[in-house]
Structure 1
Amino acid sequence: MAQSNHITTNNEVLVKVEGLSKKFCKNLKTSLWYGVKDLISGVSGSSKERLLRDKEFWAVKDINFELRRGECLGLIGHNGAGKSTLLKILNGLINPDAGKVTIKGRVGALIELGAGFNPILSGRENIYNNGAILGFSRKEIDGKLETIISFAELEEFIDMPVQHYSSGMKVRLGFAVAAQMEPDVLIIDEVLAVGDLGFILKCFKTIDSILPQTAVIFVSHNMPMISRICTQIILMDHGSSQFQGDDVGKAIDLYYNRFAENESLVVFTDSSIELSFSEVVSSTFENSIAQLQWGTQLQFLFEFKILSPIKDYEFFIIIVDKEQRPIARLKVNDDNLSPIDGNPSFAFKVCHNNLQLSKGLYSINLAVRERISKCPVFRINGILPFQIIHREETWEPFLLTSSFKTISSKTH
């Protein structure tokens, strides 16, 4: 990887990635043997490095992009997509098997919790170490020291060994060093998710202030964060770029779409009923996921097979987000749902009008219990994925309708 510390102009490309690829081996013993063979044969870096051998896979495959000062590139994708490997290559922690990375200027990186810190040294000593690595003199670090400590909110703990810091303290110190050193390129991984909300908001305010002079590469599973600061985006899947461009909203929609799991999990059953069919009632589907516009009607259809004499059941329909966090529940049925004309199955439809869930991907956990005894009968998780379509990305799980009206102010 080529890196230069000369001062760049506003229009100059600070990060250029060309045909970047990195492969790993699933087996340690095989990986060591391949390494020995490559050293002996001297083929490392040749075109043969693009060929996969037995038990190898591409962690990063043929990634290309350019990033200028004032631009923020979002890297999104599910776990194992190759985002962290790409960041480690950009930060010089590992070498690619193919391709080239050119970075101009100083690089500040926050890609792993505590990475770059010496655990037995104090926070203060680690600030000087990190500053020296970035090319700052001791006098320059002296001038930034108090600002870094204050930003990290670690005045009482700055002379304590970093090994005794909590994860949140490490994040605060890491971001403070990475951002306050005024890097030309700032690389941020998902570690910001460890911090508290107040600190995260302070981080984004800092990113806003330094972005005109910096190129930022940002990795997160939080799509409102991505939408908030990114000017261009790459959606990665199995090491490759599946979508790339400046249409951040489209990439986020594709990300949500890919998050749906086809396999559901029956958590519990007493074998008295069985879910035989279910669907989200919608006119639009993409990759088997219902697409619903915000503010429209949400409808589910369920059909159950009766395996033993039916009782008076309550049906709990729990809406969960893509991280399987429960965020809402539909009101349970007031009346008993019974078969029609003695059929061995029964079906029902449940509706919710004026859907005001925020933009994103959701699914359903369905629980059934006896109304009188409250005994559980059936539970299944992760079914019926559906996607809410809206132009806005929001942090909160609900985007509620409202009206604003100007009134005369009151003076107290």
Structure 2
Amino acid sequence: MSEVLVKVDHVSKKFCKDLKTGLWYGFQDLGKNLFGNNSENQLRPKEFWAVNDISFEVKRGECLGLLGHNGAGKSTLLKVINGLLSPDKGRIEMRGRVNALIELGAGFNPILTGRENIFNNAAVLGISEKETKKKLDEIIAFSELEEFIDTPVQYYSSGMKVKLGFSVAAHLEPDILILDEVLAVGDAGFRIKSFNKMMELMKSCAVLFVSHAMPNVARVCNKVIYMEHGKNLYCGNDVHQGIEMYFDQFSSEKSKIEFNDAATIDQIYINKQPQSNNVISTFYGEDFKLKFNINILEKGIESFYISIQITDKDLKIVANFFTNKFSPNFKVENHNEIEIIFPELLLIDGEYQITYFIVTNDGTENQYRYLAIYRNYTTFKVRGLKENVYAAIYLKGFITHNGKALN
């Protein structure tokens, strides 16, 4: 059985919305604590729970992802766990050496050089100078800052501070590693290297990881907590469920008809269900059917085609489709009913939106003109895959082993 390195037991932390009132409450609490009178269970005027009754355990070899919108209490919880803030209720047990990257540049003295800050951080963690020297070259090489390691940290960019901070935290053999959104700043190459290092560290330590990049969470975490307004709404090993709850809290981008002076679209059906205010669900691997009517209002238009763009909750484009790519343009008629079937939809579970472009090109590929744009006009959900994947598409494949089909 794996060793429990982090145990958080019914922890709560409250703050005051008003600075002067908060200072006054602080003096009151100091006086009460001197006489053993602790009233932390009660909220006073202008106070609120930033973290409210949170409990969990993280064992060696596990990575716990903390999910939630800005202001949900994730960073406050990490600061309480790391000892930067004291809890108002509850108990925290930590076993082993703790390395934390909670705020950009935290723990660095801006006047000192990168090399001097490495020794400073190591000393704070109780690591001897001799032991630090053994790892110094490895830390500097990983940070990719050989040229600037003897430059004062105050001249470092945000990305350089992240590189140095992560390198120090990851190479000083932590038992517990705490990361709060810091890898969002580094460049793509360093992020890939950092995630690989995290996977290596997870074999011997416990990781607490905060990120708004759900592909990163799906990649490295094997359990998650989803928080809202300081409360724990989900805690478990189903990372996919936590990610889905995170996305469900955000309302979809509002549909918008950017213009439709020359053409309109109506009577949209998804899998034979009419488009409505309710989000229609479809299933991974099943055919996805779109049907709608196109009305060409501008006279003189002889043909048109349709471009479809599918975006996810992060507004990233995950798929495009052009009806004229492998087929001719539609000839304009009095009634233009269009049906498009996407066989075996391979999008991962989540919520998506469709943008429709009605386009004419007068028979030439390079000259085209939009007749109408219906932005994020149709919303649908994909369900049924239930896999922790960090790509927009999960491919199907036919597999053989020594000539024998395995599917």
Judge same fold: TM > 0.5, yes or no: yes
Shifted more, 83-92 versus 192-201: the winner is: 192-201
2:395 maps to amino acid: L
CA distance in 2, matches of 1:272, 1:350: 22
2:381 maps to amino acid: F
Aligned equivalent of 1:17: 8
Inter-CA distance 378–247: structure 2 relative to 1 (3 Å threshold): closer
Structure 2 unaligned blocks of 5 or more: 363-367
Tell me if 1:39 matches 2:31.
no
CA distance in 2, matches of 1:49, 1:339: 71
Aligned equivalent of 1:354: 344
Inter-CA distance 92–49: structure 2 relative to 1 (3 Å threshold): same
Tell me if 1:133 matches 2:124.
yes
Inter-CA distance 40–176: structure 2 relative to 1 (3 Å threshold): same
Aligned equivalent of 1:239: 230
Q: Is the 8 A contact 1:291 1:389 kept in 2?
A: no
- What per-residue deviation string (whole Å, max 9, x for no partner) do you get for residues 11-31 of structure 1? 5432121222234455xxx23
Aligned equivalent of 2:178: 187
Tell me if 1:51 matches 2:43.
yes
Aligned equivalent of 1:171: 162
CA distance in 1, matches of 2:80, 2:43: 19
Q: TM-score, normalised by structure 2?
A: 0.80
Deviation of 1:159 (Å): 1.0
Alignment of 1:234-313 (within 5 A): 234-256=225-247, 258=248, 261-262=251-252, 264-266=254-256, 268-269=258-259, 278=268, 280-281=270-271, 288-302=278-292
1:381 maps to amino acid: N
CA distance in 2, matches of 1:294, 1:322: 17
Q: Is the 8 A contact 2:263 2:297 kept in 1?
A: yes
Aligned equivalent of 1:7: none
Q: Is the 8 A contact 1:259 1:322 kept in 2?
A: no
Inter-CA distance 73–279: structure 2 relative to 1 (3 Å threshold): farther
Query: SS of the residue aligned with 1:39?
Result: helix
Deviation of 1:386 (Å): 1.9
Aligned equivalent of 2:81: 90
CA distance in 1, matches of 2:180, 2:332: 50
1:64 maps to amino acid: S
Inter-CA distance 305–114: structure 2 relative to 1 (3 Å threshold): farther
Inter-CA distance 94–376: structure 2 relative to 1 (3 Å threshold): farther
Aligned equivalent of 2:365: none
Aligned equivalent of 2:60: 69
Inter-CA distance 167–37: structure 2 relative to 1 (3 Å threshold): closer
Tell me if 1:367 matches 2:325.
no
Q: What is the number of equivalent residue pairs in this alignment?
A: 386
Deviation of 1:324 (Å): 0.4
State the Cα RMSD in Å.
3.5
Shifted more, 132-141 versus 391-400: the winner is: 391-400
Deviation of 1:149 (Å): 0.9
Q: Is the 8 A contact 1:124 1:158 kept in 2?
A: yes
Inter-CA distance 336–91: structure 2 relative to 1 (3 Å threshold): farther
Query: SS of the residue aligned with 1:156?
Result: helix
Aligned equivalent of 2:392: 397
Identity of aligned residues (%): 42
1:35 maps to amino acid: L
Aligned equivalent of 1:158: 149
Match of 2:375 among 371, 377, 380: 380
Deviation of 1:109 (Å): 0.9
Q: Is the 8 A contact 1:50 1:98 kept in 2?
A: no
Inter-CA distance 113–71: structure 2 relative to 1 (3 Å threshold): same
Inter-CA distance 159–38: structure 2 relative to 1 (3 Å threshold): closer
Q: TM-score, normalised by structure 1?
A: 0.79
Shifted more, 262-271 versus 304-313: the winner is: 304-313
Q: Is the 8 A contact 1:318 1:328 kept in 2?
A: yes
